[in-house]
């Protein structure tokens, strides 16, 4: 039975904490509506990039613009099977909105799953939800949760998650894989075929969403997912770039999150992986010049293992000479690379359209993640059923 979920948004919610669950759930076949008080479908919410950067608290910078797809004043809570509340700074003011609190109480009173992350628990506290239940949050939210009678669970790491009845809470977006997994389970979902090993080919200034959304979405399914970058080792980070469409003739760029690598590129046994994912952004420009990268890509293509590449990632496929006779799409500015490599160009109209040709999945940009991830899941025989 199809499921429908509501995400409660606000200006300066944390960038990952809205987009990762939004696109992951869509990729799993769940309908998702994103709303914000005082805004309507088609409006945008600004987001914030929060990360711990060695200071006494997290840093903040501007994130992507998130487009709402439903109107807050028109929704009926009874039509939804679950609620997701992102963190960031938005919950500070949303917790003062009586219409928001009434909505959250409806989900709580009906026993429907509520998944809240980081500072989202401020809204739970204001709504009187969670009293007597075990929950966690970003540590700064602890005093508020204790004051309303929650049983505080100290997050030993920032990936901590807690489930108590219909309530799922997480400390930060680092815990998204378990957070989303618990939410899908609470919705009655079951995952099959996820015993797969997937490799991400990373580089400095890859697009922020284009690495983290599929990375955590696949982890949430139960896949083993690793990320590598040439000349870097496990535990190193790659800076990312936020590419957005803000009315200019081309995309804008802002600094994104730092992305943690999980394996060392040098000496990696990439034959042990079942699939390869190549994010876009600016990284592919220089990765396409690295012979070791090209050898890796050729291995996956020649072995006919699933390869999923998005946006500018197809610059690497072109340089590896693996596109001849294939059909694929890419970010429109990469069309020349694709055509010169001998591929048949498939126009991404609309921009979120993705295509599968044999073992190859290609997408044009991060708005296409739901199709991009879903098509990769199909090649890997991974299913989410309800």
User: Catalytic residue among 9, 36, 45, 119, which?
Assistant: 119
What Cα–Cα distance (Å) separates residue 353 from each residue in 34, 42, 79, 221, 367?
20, 19, 28, 23, 9
User: Catalytic residue among 9, 36, 311, 328, which?
Assistant: 311
Whether the CB-CB separation of 243 and 207 falls below 8 Å is answered with: yes
**150 belongs to the catalytic site:** no
**Cis bond before residue 350 (omega within 30° of 0):** yes
In this structure, the number of other CB atoms found within 10 A of the CB of residue 148 comes to 16
User: Catalytic residue among 9, 312, 328, 354, which?
Assistant: 312
**354 belongs to the catalytic site:** no
Q: Look up tokens 């990469």; give the residue.
A: 334
User: Catalytic residue among 118, 202, 238, 354, which?
Assistant: 118
Separation CA 214–CA 23 (nearest Å): 9
Q: Please report which residue ranges of the chain form alpha helices under DSSP H.
A: 15-27, 90-94, 98-109, 121-126, 142-147, 176-186, 208-220, 283-287, 291-302, 314-319, 335-340, 369-379
Q: Look up tokens 């293992």; give the residue.
A: 305
Separation CA 319–CA 315 (nearest Å): 6
| Catalytic positions | 118-119, 311-312
């Amino acid at each position: 039975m199809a499921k429908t979920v509501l995400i409660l948004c606000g200006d300066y919610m944390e960038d990952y904490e809205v987009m990762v669950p939004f696109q992951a759930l869509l990729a799993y076949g769940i309908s998702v509506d994103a709303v914000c008080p005082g805004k309507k479908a088609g409006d945008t919410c600004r987001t914030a990039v929060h990360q711990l950067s060695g200071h006494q608290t997290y840093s903040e910078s501007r994130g992507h613009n998130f487009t709402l797809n439903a109107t807050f004043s028109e929704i009926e809570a009874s039509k939804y099977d679950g609620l997701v509340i992102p963190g960031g700074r938005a919950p500070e003011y949303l917790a003062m909105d009586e219409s928001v609190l009434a909505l959250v109480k409806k989900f709580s009173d009906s026993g429907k799953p509520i998944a809240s992350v980081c500072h989202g628990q401020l809204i739970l506290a204001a709504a009187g939800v969670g009293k007597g239940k075990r929950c966690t949050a970003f540590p700064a939210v602890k005093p508020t949760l204790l004051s309303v009678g929650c049983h505080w669970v100290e997050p030993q790491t920032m990936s901590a998650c807690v489930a108590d009845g219909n309530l799922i809470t997480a400390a930060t977006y680092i815990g998204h894989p378990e957070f989303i997994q618990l939410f899908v389970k609470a919705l009655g979902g079951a995952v099959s075929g996820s015993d797969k090993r997937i490799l991400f080919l990373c580089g400095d200034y890859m697009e922020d969403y284009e690495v983290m959304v599929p990375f955590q979405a696949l982890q949430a399914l139960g896949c083993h997912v690793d990320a590598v970058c040439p000349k870097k080792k496990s535990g190193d980070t790659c800076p990312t770039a936020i590419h957005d469409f803000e009315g200019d003739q081309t995309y804008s760029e802002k600094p994104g999150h730092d992305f943690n690598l999980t394996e060392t590129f040098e000496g990696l046994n990439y034959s042990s992986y079942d699939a390869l994912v190549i994010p876009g952004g600016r990284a592919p420009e220089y990765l396409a010049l690295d012979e070791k990268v090209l050898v890796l890509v050729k291995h996956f293509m020649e072995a006919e293992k699933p390869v999923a590449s998005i946006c500018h990632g197809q610059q690497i496929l072109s340089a590896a000479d693996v596109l001849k006779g294939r059909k694929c799409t890419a970010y429109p500015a990469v069309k020349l690379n694709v055509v010169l490599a001998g591929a048949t160009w498939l126009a991404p109209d609309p921009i979120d359209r993705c295509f599968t040709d044999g073992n190859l999945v290609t997408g044009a940009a991060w708005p296409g993640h739901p199709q991009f991830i879903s098509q990769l899941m199909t090649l890997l025989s991974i299913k989410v059923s309800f």
